Amino acid sequence: MPNEPGSKVVIIGQGYVGLPVAIRACEMGFDVIGHDIDVARAELLNAGESFIEDISPARLAAALATGRYRASADPEDLGGFDVAVISVPTPLSEGTPDLSFIEEATYALARHLRPGGTVVLESTTYPGTTEELVRPILEEGSGLRAGIDFHLGYSPERIDPGNLDWTFENTPKVVSGLTEACLEKIDAFYSRLVDQTVPVRSPREAELTKLLENTFRHVNIALVNELAMFAGDLGIDIWEAIDAASTKPFGYMRFTPGPGVGGHCLPIDPSYLSWRVRQSLGLTFRFVELANDVNDHMPDYVVRRLISALNDRELSVKGRRILLLGLAYKKNTADDRQSPTTAIIGQLKSLGADLVAADPHVDADRSRADVTRVPCDVDQVRAADAVVILVDHDGFDFDMVAAEASFVLDTRHCIKDGKNVEYL
C-alpha cells in the first residue's frame, strides 16, 4: 500500500516546511528522500546539521540513523516514489506570484510519476494552482491522468517556526484531493503524520484556506499598527487598550503592533490572493492593498519616532550609537527573511547612525542584515544613545535594558513602565 510505512516518500524542498514533514514521515516509518536543489543544504543535512530550530540536531541524527531519511540534490533519487510532497518557495517577483519553483519541482516529479502515485502540493499559492499548473505538467510529463491513474491534491502547511506549543504533529492539517479517491489517499497519508486532518471539498478550498488564514493575520496586524500610530498622536496608551480588550472572552482576538511584518508568509501570501482576484475578476482586494500599505510603512514610522525622540533630547541620528535589539522577523526564530529590520537598518544608515545590532537567534554568517553585530550586554546598552527593541526574543534581558539604557524605543512593549522608554 502506497500510504503504508515502508513506502517511499519524497519531499521536494528541505526548508522550514519540507524538513519537518520529511523527518516526521521518517519517524512514522516511511522511507524518505528529502530532495533539495541546494547541494550544500543536502550535504549539511546528511552531515546532521539542522539549520531549522524546529528540528533539533538530535532529531535529525536519529532520522539519519534509521537509514530511512536521506537528503539528496539528485533528481534521480525521486525514482519509485509512492507519495511526493512539494514544499518549495513561492515568492513574489515585482508584485507578481513567482511559481517557477513549483513548476521546476513538478517537472522533476512528472518524470518519475507511476500509476497509483500520489502528489501533494504544500507550497502556499493562489487558488487554482494545483489544478491549473501542477496537474497539466504531471499529466503531460507522465502520460498519466490525474484522479484516474494517479492521486493529486493540496494540503497547506501551518508550521509556525519557534512555536513549542503548536507543532507540525498537533496542528490540525487541512487536506484535499482532486477526487474522492485522491482525498482518501492524501488523508490517509497525513493521518499517519499528524493528530488531526481536516478534509475539504477540493484543492481550491484548501488553497484559499491558507490564504484566508494569513490574510486575516495580515489585516488585523495592520489594524493595530494603524491604531498604534493614531493612539500615539492622541496621547492614548494603545497597549493598555489592547490588554483590556483582550479580556473580552468572545468576539475579539488579540493582535499587537510592531515594526512591520516579515517572514515568508505575511508580506507575500495575501498578495497572491489579491493578484488572483485582479487577474481573474479584474477587481481590487482592498483589504489586502490597505494592509500592505500600512504594514509596509511601519519601518518608516519607527525611524520617524526615533528621530523625534532623539530630537527631544537635542540629539541627531547622525553619529549617534544606536543599538537595535532583534533582526529576525518575529520572536524566538532565526528567520530574518523579509524582516522589517532590513528597511530600518537601511534608513538609519543613510542618516549616518553609528548602528549596531544584537540577535541571539540570527547567525551572523547567514544573516541578510548589513549591520555590525554585538552582544546585548550591559556595556553595549550603556554605550548606546538609543536602544530600539524590534523583536521580543525571550533571550534578551529587558530588565537590564530598562535599567541601563539612556533611552529605549520599545516597539513590542517588552519593558513594563520603564523610565526613558517610549512605546510604539
Ligand X SMILES: NC(=O)c1ccc[n+]([C@@H]2O[C@H](COP(=O)([O-])OP(=O)(O)OC[C@H]3O[C@@H](n4cnc5c(N)ncnc54)[C@H](O)[C@@H]3O)[C@@H](O)[C@H]2O)c1
Could you list the residues that contact ligand X (CB under 6 A)?
A: 12-18, 35-38, 41, 87-90, 101, 104-105, 123-124, 157, 159, 161, 264-265
Q: State in angstroms the smallest separation of the CB of 406 from ligand X.
A: 37
Instruction: Indicate the residue among 292 and 347 with the shorter CB distance to ligand X.
Output: 292
Q: State in angstroms the smallest separation of the CB of 10 from ligand X.
A: 10
Instruction: Indicate the residue among 206 and 358 with the shorter CB distance to ligand X.
Output: 206
Q: In this structure, is the dihedral angle defined by the CA atoms of residues 238, 243, 248 and 252, taken in order, positive or negative?
A: positive
Which residue has its beta carbon closest to ligand X?
A: 15
- Residue entry with cell 547612525: 353
Question: Measuring CA to CA, how many Å separate 360 from each of 272, 308, 390?
Answer: 32, 29, 13
Instruction: Indicate the residue among 55 and 183 with the shorter CB distance to ligand X.
Output: 55
Q: State in angstroms the smallest separation of the CB of 154 from ligand X.
A: 11
Instruction: Indicate the residue among 129 and 142 with the shorter CB distance to ligand X.
Output: 129
Q: State in angstroms the smallest separation of the CB of 320 from ligand X.
A: 35
- 412 within 8 A of 392, measured Cβ to Cβ: yes
Q: State in angstroms the smallest separation of the CB of 147 from ligand X.
A: 24
Between strands 31-35 and 69-72, the pairing is parallel
| Residue 265 annotated as catalytic | yes
305 three-state secondary structure: helix
- 34 within 8 A of 11, measured Cβ to Cβ: yes
- 150 within 8 A of 179, measured Cβ to Cβ: no
Query: Per-residue DSSP letters for 3-17?
Result: TSTTSEEEEE--STT
Q: State in angstroms the smallest separation of the CB of 75 from ligand X.
A: 8
Instruction: Indicate the residue among 101 and 423 with the shorter CB distance to ligand X.
Output: 101
Tally of CA atoms within 13 A in the half-sphere of 82 that contains its CB:
17
| CB atoms closer than 10 angstroms to residue 70 | 18
Alpha-carbon Rg for the chain in angstroms:
23
Query: Per-residue DSSP letters for 339-360?
Result: -THHHHHHHHHHTT-EEEEE-S
Tally of CA atoms within 13 A in the half-sphere of 308 that contains its CB:
12
H or E segment and range at residue 321? strand 321-325
Instruction: Indicate the residue among 18 and 199 with the shorter CB distance to ligand X.
Output: 18
| CB atoms closer than 10 angstroms to residue 109 | 25
Instruction: Indicate the residue among 257 and 267 with the shorter CB distance to ligand X.
Output: 267
Instruction: Indicate the residue among 38 and 354 with the shorter CB distance to ligand X.
Output: 38
Query: Per-residue DSSP letters for 104-120?
Result: HHHHHHHTT--TT-EEE
**CB-based burial of residue 58 (10 Å sphere; 0-12 exposed, 13-18 middle, 19+ buried)?**
exposed
Q: State in angstroms the smallest separation of the CB of 134 from ligand X.
A: 13
- Residues 6 or more apart whose CB falls under 8 angstroms from that of 283 comprise 277
Q: What is the DSSP letter of 195?
A: S
Q: State in angstroms the smallest separation of the CB of 120 from ligand X.
A: 12
Catalytic residues: 265
